[in-house]
Amino acid sequence: MVSVGVLGATGAVGQRFVQLLADHPYFDLTVLTASGRSAGKKYRDAVNWRLDVPLPESAGDIIVAETKTECLKNADIVFSALPADLATTIETDCAKAGIGVCSNASSHRMDQDVPLVVPEVNADHLRMIELQRDAGNDGFIVTNPNCSTIMLTVSLAPIRNFHFTDLRVATMQAISGAGFEGIPAMSIFDNVVPYIGNEEEKMERETLKIMGTFDGSEIVNAPFSVSASCNRVPVIDGHTMAVWLDIKEPVENVAKAFQSWRCPIGDLPTLPEKSVDFMVQQDRPQPRLDRMKGKGMTVSVGRLRPGIRYIAMGHNTIRGAAGASILNAELICDRGYI
């Protein structure tokens, strides 16, 4: 078993990590960290557990540690669910100390030697770990993208071989994406907020890196433009998005590509049977009905129309956050980097 820890284990994403790592076939959860407010307490006493599944018993007994490399000596891999400003230094320190970091935070996503990985799309970018090792790190940092970028890029995997130059996307993002204390009920109830700080910029730049090519020394960005418009809507979990692509092929060919696509990587515990579920019902996907497909790891695609236009939707704190990092870590083990 690989010994793992979670940094920021008491937060919205941290709790998802703890839930998904209980009884994991590869990973043994041994360390949980948070702020000085929580350190020294048993996890069950430190955390305000807000998931609709019980807190795993074994995790409840772990004493929360401070978020310092000295406290992580026994971990082979740490999953980072820290606020981005804190993650920058601690993740670098961990990599230097020989620990593998699978990060959900945005701090290092665009670093030149850090892979930004969605296994179904760019598993080969994991080779960038070798650049970090050449630079003297015994450990590494591997990041997963922003939650909306993940849904978008997974939905593009089956149709990426069609020619297009212009991608436009408008999101309808769940409130859990802003964290537990993120957005007051008075702001979001009976409302739509057409602004999420930095989200549009992240979707635009991260998509080009993920869909780009790693030539052995650097990423060459994908050759299309991305224009995003991001909105917060009163949904608890599940980011939905409308996508427009200037694909000139008949819509029937695009539908066939969605239907016949098979994920190019082998079996991994968190990889769902279907990474993309192509739906033909005229009013799907919907977050309440479709977000838990594939244990929260499936991206549902539907309403395919000429243009090309479609809707994509997936669970933002599972597929879009903790589940994505864990899937990356499984791939890292599978490819022999641990």
Ligand X SMILES: N[C@@H](CC(=O)OP(=O)(O)O)C(=O)O
Is residue 84 at the binding interface for ligand NDP, with CB under 6 A as the rule?
yes
Smallest gap from Cβ 321 to ligand X, in A, equals 7
Q: Which is nearer to ligand NDP, 14 or 294 (CB)?
A: 14
Active site residues: 147, 239
Q: Which of residues 130-159 bind ligand NDP (CB under 6 A)?
A: 147
* 173: contact with ligand X by CB under 6 A: yes
**Residue 91 binding partner per list ligand NDP, ligand X, none, with a CB distance cut-off of 5 to 8 Å that depends on partner kind:** none
User: Which C-beta is closer to ligand X: that of 147 or that of 241?
Assistant: 147
Considering only the stretches 162-170, 191-199, 245-253, 316-324, report the one whose residues sit in contact with ligand NDP under the rule CB under 6 A: 316-324
Q: Does 147 bind ligand X (CB under 6 A)?
A: yes
Of residues 311 through 330, those in contact with ligand X by CB under 6 A are 316
C-beta of 258: minimal distance to ligand X in Å? 25
The two three-digit tokens of residue 152, written as one number: 């978008």
End-to-end CA distance of the chain: 11
**Nearer to ligand X among residue 92 and residue 146 (C-beta):** 146
Asked whether position 175 contacts ligand NDP by CB under 6 A, the answer is no
What residue has token string 């320190």? 93
What does 231 interact with, of ligand X, ligand NDP, none (CB < 5 to 8 A by kind)?
none
Name the residue type at position 302.
Answer: G
Name the binder of 202 from ligand X, ligand NDP, none, CB < 5-8 A by kind: ligand X
**Residues lying near ligand NDP in the complex (CB under 6 A):** 8-14, 34-35, 37-38, 67, 81-84, 86, 104-106, 147, 176-177, 179-180, 316-317, 320-321
